[in-house]
Structure 1
Amino acid sequence: MRRTSRTSLGLAVAAAAALVAGTGQASAINSYNATPAPERTEVGALVATWDDDDPATPDQVDWVCSGTMVDANTFLTAAHCTAAFTWPPNVRFYVSLEQDVQAALDAAEAQHPGDPTAVAQAVGVEGVAHTEPGYPGPASDSHDIAVIEVPAAAMAARWTFTPATLPAAGLLDRLGNRALDATGFVVVGYGTEEAQRGPGGHVHPGGGVRMKAPEGFNALNKTWIRLDMHEQHGNGGACYGDSGGPNFAVLGGELVLVSTTITGDVPCYATNVTYRTDTATARAFLAPFVALP
């Protein structure tokens, strides 16, 4: 299970259509222990246009994943959000830093009915996707990381943001489990809420609004950090549509983007399994696009 967005995207590939989620306007992230995140202007939504049948003309537009600006023109997200084999050949990607991207899409669709390209341009800036060539890798290192390169001037003309801080090489290993147990974490994204009972079974309502929630440390692996999102521990967490979004560690009073959301438990109650940004693999991929500490 990868935390991509809704099956209403119409993609044939399961990796890009993991689970049905509601399209209603509501909170993203888990509904518990979560709050809106208008101050996290570096965090955005990945918007796509595509057409499953006609390679020349897109007829669909939607937000599909989350991500973060890590410099003036680089948007960090997950490889399973951008990989060519999950999309028709005519897919185009846009980055939006709107707080409520679903409302922005709805308004743009009312203004530009039947024109997905105009809708996407109204809410975001078009960019070029670069997917880690090793994706999909083995469970030990999935290589599930990607960036969208966008024109810096176009982004600056639309939004004001301070790029996220990336970690130094091996930062989490040096901190170790004891220090990580005492570290606060914050997940941010546009995804849906945890599973709720609905007609015909569980549904995941909400999505499309930038939200944040606290998390706790669970476990550290070679390329993964697992984060606790149990409600009874005072935490919240990620769900569908939060893929590629940031997980910040609070270190010395600063938010450091130590990992990106990838997967977790199906109902989105317990664990956020996130891809580390301080590993050799992640840094080798990122080095051509962003200055690393």
Structure 2
Amino acid sequence: MRRPLTAAATALAAIASCVAFAAPSSAINTYNSAPAPERTEVGAFVGLYDRDGDGYLDRLRWYCSGTMVDDDTYLTAAHCTTGGLPDDRYFVSLEQDVQGLLDAYDVDHGPVPTDPAALEAYLETKTQYFLDQGWIVEGTPHQDPDYPGNGADSHDIGVVDFADWDVTPQDVWDFIPATLPTAGQLDELGSRALDAADWLTVGYGTSEAVRGPGGHTHPGGGERLKALVDFNALNPTWVRLAMNASRGLGGACYGDSGGPNFVELDGELVLAATTITGDAPCYATNVAYRLDSESARDFLEPFVDLP
């Protein structure tokens, strides 16, 4: 979980690369992780977009993670929802293996065209097929207007809203929206209680860095996975979570940006923070944006009934 594996457009990539407060990264590591079919409130953020700005839609793919926080609001990161072009379209999928569905379509309906106009037509047909199958739902992205902020508060929070659309995720999938924290709840608990609690990170991202010819790669991604992480530190707008394999932990990597980091409090999973960044190889630290902060709650208030 951390910055998107691929941006929705060139502009989004440029914006993400300018945020220098931490190294980019995003996805659930393969070590000490497992599939998460029971976490039906967690979904992949999918885009149909013009990657190179030539006027033709040329990519349909997942590129971030997120969580349903009510019937028609999907919570993710601002760097996932900003920077697109006017004709780009955005969707959420709560399917377990989104990449598998995308790949299977191409096997059954390919070859994928290379001509820009033919490729756009192919992708539009593919998108409609996914809509008809109930594998994706189209929505409207929003992000904190103060994004990208700074190191103290990145304002890196966004949503996909379905309130004005005929079909919402609740019409398609069975899920119970995640429970958000109350105002300042993590501060009230304090570091000792947070360290004693169980933490779980969930997302669709790639694996940790793999050494190979030409340097590191981050294979995989597109399937909902979960991993235990451990509390490290609490900052005014950040939770830092350890994900060292030697301690039996997993963690987030590329494509997990916007995905949930749950903490178990009194037997209930509370969505404490969303994955934003961490160390580039995805070995050590997940840096997540707190949802009990004043700035996060100010952004969410128009979309969600806050606790």
Is the TM-score greater than 0.5?
Answer: yes
- 2:94 is the counterpart of 1:97: yes
Superposed CA deviations along residues 146-167 of structure 1, whole A, max 9, x for unmatched, are 0001247442332111110100
Distance 2:74 2:59 in 1: 22
Partner of 1:141: 153
Asked if 1:291 corresponds to 2:298, the answer is no
1:88–1:261 Cα change, 3 Å: same
Retained in 1: the 8 A contact 2:25–2:277?
Answer: no
The answer for the alignment partner of 2:63 in structure 1 is: 64
Alignment correspondent of 1:35: 34
> Which residue matches 1:53?
53
In structure 1, the partner of 2:123 is 116
| Residue 90 of structure 1: how far off its partner (Å) | 2.2
Q: Which amino acid aligns with 1:144?
A: D
Q: 1:166 aligns with which of 180, 195, 207?
A: 180
Cα distance in 2 between the residues matched to 1:199 and 1:95: 35
Paired position in structure 1 for 2:293: 279
Gaps of 5+ in 1: 22-27
SS in 2 for 1:70: strand
Q: Matched residues in 2 for 1:20 and 1:252: separation?
A: 31
Q: Which residue of 1 aligns with 2:3?
A: 3
Give the drift of 1:253: 1.1
What whole-Å deviation, never above 9, does each CA across 1:246-285 have from its counterpart, x for those lacking one?
Answer: 0000111111000000000010000000000000000010
Does the Cα contact within 8 Å between 1:105 and 1:120 map onto a contact in 2?
no
What letter corresponds to residue 190 of structure 1 in structure 2?
Answer: Y
Q: Measure how far apart 1:199 and its partner are.
A: 1.4
List gaps (5 residues or longer) in structure 2: 18-22, 113-118
For 1:144 and 1:284, locate their aligned partners in 2 and report how far apart those are by CA, in whole Å: 13
TM-superposed CA distance for 1:58, in Å, is 1.7
Structure ranking higher on relative contact order (CA contacts 8 Å, 6+ apart): 2
Aligned to 1:250: 264
Paired AA for residue 129 in structure 1: P
Cα RMSD after superposing both structures:
2.2
Q: What is the distance in 2 between the residues matched to 1:20 and 1:200?
A: 19
Q: Take 2:209 and 2:5, find their aligned partners in 1: how far apart are those partners? A: 14
Contact residue 68 and residue 164 of structure 1 kept, 8 A: yes
Q: State the 1:89 CA deviation.
A: 3.0
1:261 paired residue among 260, 272, 275: 275
- Please say if 1:208 is aligned against 2:222: yes
Distance 2:196 2:24 in 1: 34
Aligned AA for 1:4? Answer: P
SS in 1 for 2:190: helix
Aligned AA for 2:266? G
Name the SS of the counterpart of 1:30 in structure 2: coil
Q: CA deviation at 1:105?
A: 1.3
Structural mapping, 1:184-199, within 5 Å: 184-199=198-213
Instruction: Assess, with a 3 A threshold, how the Cα gap between structure 1 residues 217 and 36 changes in structure 2: closer, same or farther.
Output: same
Aligned equivalents of 1:49 and 1:128: distance in 2? 13
Question: Contact 1:49–1:91 (CA<8 Å) still a contact in 2?
Answer: yes
What amino acid is aligned across from residue 133 of structure 1 in structure 2? P
Equivalent residue for 1:107? 104
Contact 1:73 1:152 in 2 (8 A): no
Partner of 1:24: none
Task: Render the CA deviation track for 1:211-237: whole Å, top value 9, x for unaligned.
Answer: 000010000000000001011122110
- Inter-CA distance 117–20: structure 2 relative to 1 (3 Å threshold): farther
Q: Assess if the C-alpha contact under 8 Å between 1:5 and 1:16 holds in 2.
A: no
**What's the TM-score, normalizing by structure 1?**
0.90
Q: CA shift at 1:32, angstroms?
A: 1.1
Aligned letter for 2:89?
A: R
Alpha-carbon deviation of 1:74? 0.3
Name the stretch that deviates more: 74-83 or 149-158: 149-158
